[in-house]
Structures are given as C-alpha cells and as structure tokens.
Chains A and B, each alone.
Chain A
C-alpha cells in the first residue's frame, strides 16, 4: 500500500485560509468515504480533526472542514490561527483486508 500524496508544506497569514490536498487511488481515497485528517504538534501525538471525509469530532473547531472529489481529499482550515501551525496527515481506509494508509504529511505554517 503506497502512501497518499500530500504537499510538503502550506502557509497562510492569520485569518486567511489554507487548503491541503491528499491524493490516493480508487483503492483507497476514491473507493471509500473513509478519509480522516490528523493534526500533530511537535513532540505530541496526532489528534483526530476530521473523519469520514467531512465530519468533525466533538471539540474540533468548525474552522476545520473536509471534502473529497474522486481520488483526492482536501482539508481546509479557515480563519487560520497561530495554534493551527502543525503537521497534518490524511489517512484512508483501504479495504477490509488491509491496514489503513497515511498521507506523506503537510507542514502548515502561519505566517
């Protein structure tokens, strides 16, 4: 199972929006509505931010939103804040006889 493709970095100024893409194949991202996004600050464990493409767990601000088109999923962070500066990873379900697969990760910088 190959890693999903994400841009290495993305940046925007406070208050602006940033969108991160996550490209897979029809065997993972395109085949299921089971894409998740995780936020990871340095030295910390990943935290679930989005699941099932666009759902937010309790406690995650509505500034975070997810979408999917074909084999590409996207995470948008609107109204960017300093605490949003972190690494973001997507992941996708890849079938009942497989592990999930992660994206390559994107470092988001708040300018």
Chain B
C-alpha cells in the first residue's frame, strides 16, 4: 500500500525557516517524480514544486522561487521542502504527492502538514 507521511510543520515567524519531510512507503520511491502542493486556509490547491527521480529536473511556482528548495534522498525514501524567508502568505497545509509525469497526475497524496507563518 502506497503511503506518504509528511512532518515538520508548525508555527514560524515571518522571515523564518522550516523544513518539511515526507516519508514514502509501499512503492519504489526512486522510480517516481515527486511533488509538493499547498492549500491556504479556505482556499484552493496550489502546485508548489516538482522533482524528477534523480533530481536533474526541478520546477517551482514563481511565488516560492529563490526561497524554497525541494530535495530528495532516494536511499531514505524521503522528500523534503526547505522553506526560507517565510511570509504570511505561505501559511497553508503542505501535501507531498507522487507525480506520474506521463499522465500529469498526482496519484497518491499524504495527509498534509500545516505551516503557519505568524508573529
């Protein structure tokens, strides 16, 4: 059974940093693109970042470029999101998802972790 479990969310002050983690089980992690998607309170879904299996291709939404870094450790079957220079508008539930690139589809999602940026 495919499972994705996020961790690392919490309350952080504006300008601060946070690192999210996503532990994957039930599939060959190193064979799949992975993604981060976020959802601000009461709002819709926003695609944040994609990362290819070997890290050779990475894409970010414009609003996080230069501040967020997506990375992965295939040996640990884990995906990460380093978030720096956090802003109030980054407050959201952050989901880790498996990305099937040939269909452009996020086929499995984690339960999400809440990041709150506030003083």
Contacts and interface: CB of A to CB of B under 8 A. Distances in A.
Contacts of A45: 95, 109-112
Interface string B29-63: 00000010100000011111110000000011100
Contacts of B48: 99
A12 interface: no
Interface of A is mostly: loop
Interface of B is mostly: strand
Given A45-B109, A45-B110, A89-B44, A98 B103 contact: no
A99 B45 contact: no
Contacts of A101: 47
Category for how many chain A residues contact B: 20 to 34
B104 A102 contact: no
A32 B103 CA distance: 9
Interface residues of B, number: 24
Contacts of B105: 34, 36, 48, 51-52, 91
Interface string A37-70: 0100000111110011000010000000000000
A36 B112 contact: no
Interface centre among B44, B104, B107 (most CB of A within 10 A): B104
Contacts of A98: 59
A79 interface: no
Contacts of A109: none
B106 interface: yes
A52 B106 contact: no
Contacts of B100: 51
Interface of B: 35, 37, 44-50, 59-61, 95, 100, 103-112
